[in-house]
Structure 1
Amino acid sequence: MSSVPVYDVAIIGGGAVGCAIVHELTGRGLKTVLCEQNSQLVQEASAGNSGIVHTGFDATPSTIEHQCLEDARILNKTIYNKYNLPFEERGALLVAWNQDQMSKLPSLLKSAHNNGVTGARLISRADLLRREPHLNPAALGAMIIPGELVVDPWLIPITLAHKAWMQGSMIMRDCKVLGGHLETGSHWLLETSRGPIKSRVVINCTGLQGDLVEAINQPSPFEIHPRKGQFAVFDQSAANLLHSIILPVPTERTKGVLVFPSVYGNIVVGPTAEDQTARENPQVHPKVIDELVAYAHFVLPQLAEHPVVATYAGLRPATQTKDYHFIVDRDRGWVTVGGIRSTGLSACLAIARRVANAIPTSKPHITYPEQRPEIRRIADDTVEMDGVSYHLTHPLIRLGFPNKMAKL
């Protein structure tokens, strides 16, 4: 009988947060395994995000989300530059389309300043239209938010996980955690679809499955309520129509529908916010897409001259509260990172550092090579890094990769 592999840390979930955590913990010298139930990393919630990295200008003060987004403003650019990952600082314009929305801008500005985004300021209609001359002239004014980024939402987490693998961490795909228990001697024995694993610490960052996996350790204190977001993507021929990310004035329930440029030159509209019970395979609905396209045409009338080339839908792991569920059970060696709704990509590096700080280690840190792995395209939707193949799971990079090889 073969022996059971033993690790310092087992990470359950290979989305943006899990990939960032395996990168951080490997860098701190911990023997780490990442278990992803799907055949590919970045396949569930992380495969349907917007590709926008937010500043957290509108985060609720004193929440864990707020703290992570604040820390991420520095961490993100440092890592993107270190690994030569594609990103553009486009900034955002939160646009008011009526007097009621205009009246809310001063309080939103105050919140942005309180959240440390001190460069935010109100601008007039004339200034707004000078910045975005193709915007619908019905706009009344806006708040400008510097620091908002558009990024490659797939390459960032894949690079982080790949770097960890190159330094000896185990990345196990098609590895569903089926159960587990804490053994005498303070090691978890996890039962997986690829056999048993032992680990001193387990990290649950499974996104849409977060409450189900949490039940391995304790009755989950949170419930996942999947929230679907649908997107429509316009042809790159429209790229010159928009420079900034166009945000709506948010409501109590949602940040609303955005119109924004991708890092590869497509203009995108979305997401919607549709509550549902299913946790997988989000479907695109033509009627909703028609409504999104109509809204995009309203915001940028000249978009009507350019075709929609793709649509997609993603699910966000919303819970009964707006904040992250960050739980550290030191006695049982279990860390939970749950309910990361729409800011997982934005905050993942800061979340990873927060998790690592909760796991004491005296092992020597390692220094990652700074260059990004060489990427070789081996099929329309597959690339290879250092002999490892990765499927392009995010629609925005599938659109951009074949035409933007110079950026990669």
Structure 2
Amino acid sequence: MNSHLHSADRQDVAVIGAGVVGCAIARRFALTGARVIVIEKAADILAGASKGNSAILHTGFDAPSGSLEWQCMQAGYAEFLDIRERLGLPLLRSTAILAAWTEDEMSKLDQIAAKAWKNGVTDVRPLSPAEVLAREPHLSRTLLGGLLVPGEFLIDPWSTPLAYLHQAIANGATVLRETEVLSGRFDGQAWTLETNRGAVLAETVINAAGLWGDVVDDRLQVGRTFDIRPRKGQFVVFDKAAARLLSAIILPVPTERTKGIVLTPTIFGNLLVGPTAEEQADRIHATVEQATLEQLIAKAQAILPALADMPVTATYAGLRPATAHSEYQIRHDAAHNLIVAGGIRSTGLTGALGIAQHVAKLYNERHPHKRPESNAIWPTVALPVLAEHEARDWTRPGYGEIVCHCELVTKREIEAALTGPLPAGDSSGLKRRTRAGMGRCQGFYCHARIASLTQGRFTTPLAIGSVDA
């Protein structure tokens, strides 16, 4: 929904960035009746760090105890479970096993379990090798033991923030896409944000720009307090046939720097391995490297030997907005009516709703609620059902045709994704809304049909004779 700017209309809150955190923040403020505008420079939402993650709803069992990250994860986890059915969001109750493969890793399990209990996750318990293999018989017999984390679940990483923003829009929020904040000026009462499409006036600005959070701080001329250090994570997606080999999320024993390589089913019926953790200066391009992908595949096959016979469907990489700090970088500059939510790394999908609660609390220290949330509107637009364990659109009559046979995406789903309050803004956004082109052939067979169905819809149209990478 690329709305025209109306510079005379002052908003209560302008949220810069439409990643999962920005979408959750917009929802939280719109629920209380605030006038909210979301500003996103890309053609569609989730185009930055939020487009690439492992799609796990984390309990926070191993988060730094008492930290803001832990608080936001706990709050976000609880709120997601509370609202997901009303928003039509799927959940796969997969559980997780923290697997130890060396004596050094085994020695850390008791400490991790103690931290989990301290963090309020009291249902974790140790598993012997026999107990792990009884649950997951395809795992390597070199396993020494594990820790069961029953509350770790799988969710849809793209429909989730889409639902948050749908509810924000239903409660009056405006979303501007292809709109980049170039500068900002605070006059003591309100902000004037200059964008490539005109001025936006807002009383309060919330910087949720992810990979560009420090750049936006510079453009607002309030002084940055952190530098983004992009951290790349590469992933390998195994074919859907591999999903039968594993039911639980297999977590590694984490290090101080990274949570490590995860082997997990996905809610879409694939098997995923990743991410890596690689520092880089480039915050735009997340490339995949053959040598790294081969290492990921070898790691996955060492954990799950039967993967040696399974084909790889896709590879991809995402960037996380890491900083020099291990903690979330959330600050309230009350003198300038500015809140910054930065440095949100791998736990952002789980923590987003909790981050939104925290940001709203900071805001409410100076601004009262507009209305009780009990009066909030819940969206009536149905989200696409992409989870493999639920009834997909192709099982219902009247779907028109199967456009993407690998992922069983219907014409009706494509058409729905191109309409409504927040239609897909580009081909990547359409993929995230439908999974068309994300299957075994990676769009080789369905690309031309998708190009035909989307003709005239996108600023950058799909070329009918080429395959969109």
Under a length normalisation based on structure 1, what TM-score does the superposition of the two structures give? Answer: 0.93
Shift of 1:3: 4.6
1:116 maps to what in 2? 120
Distance 2:291 2:130 in 1: 34
Of residues 410, 417, 420, the one that matches 1:386 is 420
1:191 aligns with 2:194: yes
1:364 aligns with 2:402: no
Distance 2:60 2:84 in 1: 18
Relative to structure 1, the CA distance from residue 77 to residue 200 in structure 2 (aligned partners, 3 Å threshold; closer, same or farther) is same
Distance 1:208 1:62 in 2: 26
Contact 1:222/1:319 (8 A) holds in 2: yes
Shift of 1:369: 2.2
Contact 2:7/2:198 (8 A) holds in 1: no
1:334 aligns with 2:334: no
Distance 1:362 1:19 in 2: 19
Matches within 5 A, 1:161-240: 161-184=165-188, 186-215=189-218, 216-240=220-244
Query: RMSD value over aligned CA atoms?
Result: 2.2
1:312 maps to what in 2? 316
Distance 1:34 1:345 in 2: 18
1:76 maps to what in 2? 80
1:351 aligns with 2:355: yes
Contact 2:15/2:22 (8 A) holds in 1: yes
Contact 1:17/1:345 (8 A) holds in 2: yes
Contact 2:19/2:48 (8 A) holds in 1: yes
Aligned residue identity for 1:270: G
Contact 1:227/1:317 (8 A) holds in 2: yes
Relative to structure 1, the CA distance from residue 167 to residue 94 in structure 2 (aligned partners, 3 Å threshold; closer, same or farther) is same
Shift of 1:370: 5.9
1:88 maps to what in 2? 92
Aligned residue identity for 2:370: K
1:244 maps to what in 2? 248
| Count of residues paired in the alignment | 401
Contact 1:242/1:261 (8 A) holds in 2: yes
Of residues 144, 154, 157, the one that matches 2:161 is 157
The DSSP-based 3-state class of the residue aligned with 1:213 is helix
Aligned residue identity for 2:157: P
Q: Alpha-carbon deviations, 1:18-65, whole Å to 9, x = none?
A: 001111110010000000010010111000111112111111112110
- Seq. identity, %: 40
Distance 1:93 1:6 in 2: 50
Q: Alpha-carbon deviations, 1:274-305, whole Å to 9, x = none?
A: 00000012001111111111111111111122
Distance 2:246 2:105 in 1: 22
The DSSP-based 3-state class of the residue aligned with 1:59 is coil
The DSSP-based 3-state class of the residue aligned with 1:331 is helix
2:262 maps to what in 1? 258
Aligned residue identity for 1:27: L
The DSSP-based 3-state class of the residue aligned with 2:256 is coil
Matches within 5 A, 1:54-73: 54-73=58-77
Aligned residue identity for 2:345: R
Contact 1:37/1:177 (8 A) holds in 2: yes
Of residues 31, 39, 50, the one that matches 1:27 is 31
1:40 aligns with 2:44: yes
Shift of 1:362: 3.7
1:406 maps to what in 2? none
Q: Alpha-carbon deviations, 1:311-346, whole Å to 9, x = none?
A: 110000000111001101122100010000111101
The DSSP-based 3-state class of the residue aligned with 1:389 is coil
2:111 maps to what in 1? 107
Shift of 1:384: 3.4
Under a length normalisation based on structure 2, what TM-score does the superposition of the two structures give? Answer: 0.82
Distance 1:58 1:258 in 2: 14
Contact 2:89/2:159 (8 A) holds in 1: yes
Q: Alpha-carbon deviations, 1:330-383, whole Å to 9, x = none?
A: 221000100001111011011111111222334124422265525485686982
Bigger mean CA deviation after superposition, 46-55 or 384-393: 384-393
Shift of 1:167: 2.5
Relative to structure 1, the CA distance from residue 199 to residue 75 in structure 2 (aligned partners, 3 Å threshold; closer, same or farther) is same
Shift of 1:253: 1.1
Relative to structure 1, the CA distance from residue 217 to residue 355 in structure 2 (aligned partners, 3 Å threshold; closer, same or farther) is farther
Where is the strand percentage greater, Structure 1 or Structure 2? 1
1:405 maps to what in 2? none
Bigger mean CA deviation after superposition, 264-273 or 61-70: 61-70
Contact 1:112/1:120 (8 A) holds in 2: yes
Could you tell me which runs of 5 or more consecutive residues in structure 2 were left unpaired when the two chains were aligned.
385-409, 442-469
Distance 1:395 1:387 in 2: 13
